[in-house]
Amino acid sequence: MRSRRFEPSSGRSDILERKGTILTQYQRDVFINEIRIAAAQDSSICFISADFGAPALDAYRAELPRQFLHAGISEQGMIDLAAGLALSGRKIYVYAMAPFITLRCMEQLKCTLGIMRLPVTVLAVGVGLGYADSGPTHYATEDLACMRVLVNAEIFSPADVEATRAIARYTLQQPAFRVVRLDRHPLQEIYDAGIATIIPAGFCRFGEGARVCIASCGYLLHRALQVQERLVAERIKVDVVDVFRNKPLGASLAEALSTYKAVVTVEEQCLAGGFGSAVLELMAEHEWTGRVIRLGLPERNFFENGGRDFLLEAFGLGEKAIAATVRKAAQSSAGLAAARA
C-alpha cells in the first residue's frame, strides 16, 4: 500500500484529503520528545515511567533527571505518586504498557485522578493486539470500554505521529486528566501539521457525500482507508471518519455522522462497551434513524500465534471482510434511496 498524507481542504475543518508521502516513526517517541522539549523550559512538568527502553524515554531521563521518575513494575503506585505530585502543582505524564496502566489501575485512575480532576496524562502504549504474540495478558482489547466509564477522563487514540504530536501539544496547553492510547509499532503517516487545528473537534472525515461511512481510530483507521480505496476502485463511494477523540463524543460528530444512512464502526476491541458502542449510544441519543454496524473482536481470549494481522484476519477484521460488510451496507442504502425516490 502506498503512503498517504492528508491536509485541510475545501474550507471544512473536519474534512481532509490525501496528498504526498512521508516516513514513519514511533508514536511514543514523538509524544515523549514533545514533552521533553516543553519540560526543558517548564520545571513543573514531570514524567513517570514504569518501563525503560524507548529511545525518547532514555533521552528524557538523561537530559532532565530531576523531572523523571522510574516507578518500576508498580503501575498502581505510579498513579498514586502522580496524583500526589499533581496536587503539589506539577503537570504529570505517566507511561507504561497499555494493559497494565489501564485495567490494573482502574481504582487509582477513578479515585486519585478522576474524582479530583488532576492534570495527569496517562500514556498507554501497545493498545489492541499490539503485543502479539504475547497472549491475552498483554493484549488491551477491552481497555477502551473500561476507560470510557471513568468520570472526568478524556480519551484519545491517534492514528499516526502527526496526530500524536498535535495531541501531545494539546495536553501541554490544556492540562487535564487524559488517557492517550498509542500503538506499539510505527504507523504509516496520514496527516500533516494541519491536524493540530482540529484536535478540539475530536474527529475528521476523509471524503464527503457518501451514503455510508467507516468510523474508526488508531491502527484500524489505516485498514479503513485501505477498504475505502478498494471500494472506490469498484465505484462504491464510502467516506472514512477518524474519531481520534474517543471520549467525549460531541454533538458535532453526531451531526457529521447523521448525514449517512449507515455507519460501520471498526475497532481492535471486543465489542461490549467499546468504540462501536460509544458511537451507537451517541447516535441513539441524537435520535438518528440510520444504522450502526459494529465490527470488532469476538468476546474471547486470544491464545493463537501468528502476529497481529493474522489475528485480525482470523477474527473478521481483515480488509476483505470489512470491505464485504461496507459494500453490503452501501448497496442496501443505495437500494433504499432508490425505493424512496
Tell me the pLDDT tens digit for each residue of 270-311: 999 999 999 999 999 999 999 999 999 999 999 999 999 999
Residue 291's closest CA among 252, 329, 322? Answer: 329
Residues of the chain with pLDDT > 70, as a percent, come to: 91
Which tens digit of pLDDT belongs to each residue from 96-150?
999 999 999 999 999 999 999 999 999 999 999 999 999 999 999 999 999 999 9
Q: Which pLDDT value is given to residue 54? A: 85
Question: Starting from the edge strand earliest in sequence, which strands make up the sheet with 239-242, in order?
Answer: 6-8, 15-18, 204-206, 239-242, 212-216, 262-270, 291-297
> What is the value of pTM for the model shown?
0.92
Q: Architecture of domain 27-182 in CATH?
A: 3-Layer(aba) Sandwich (3.40)
Fold: same for 6-21+197-340 and 27-182:
yes
Cell of residue 328, nine digits: 453490503
Q: Which pLDDT value is given to residue 24? A: 64
Mean pLDDT of the chain: 91
Could you give the dihedral angle defined by the CA atoms of residues 222, 198, 19 and 329, in that order, rounded to the nearest 10 degrees?
50
Query: Is 240's pLDDT higher than 70?
Result: yes
**Vertex 238, ends 236 and 242: CA angle to 5°?**
160
Q: Which pLDDT value is given to residue 53? A: 77
Which tens digit of pLDDT belongs to each residue from 55-78?
899 999 999 999 999 998 899 999
Q: Which residues pair with 265 in a beta bridge?
A: 215, 294
The CATH class of the 6-21+197-340 domain is alpha beta
Contact 140, 99 (CB under 8 A): yes
**Domain edges within the chain:** 6-21+197-340, 27-182
Q: Which pLDDT value is given to residue 12? A: 44
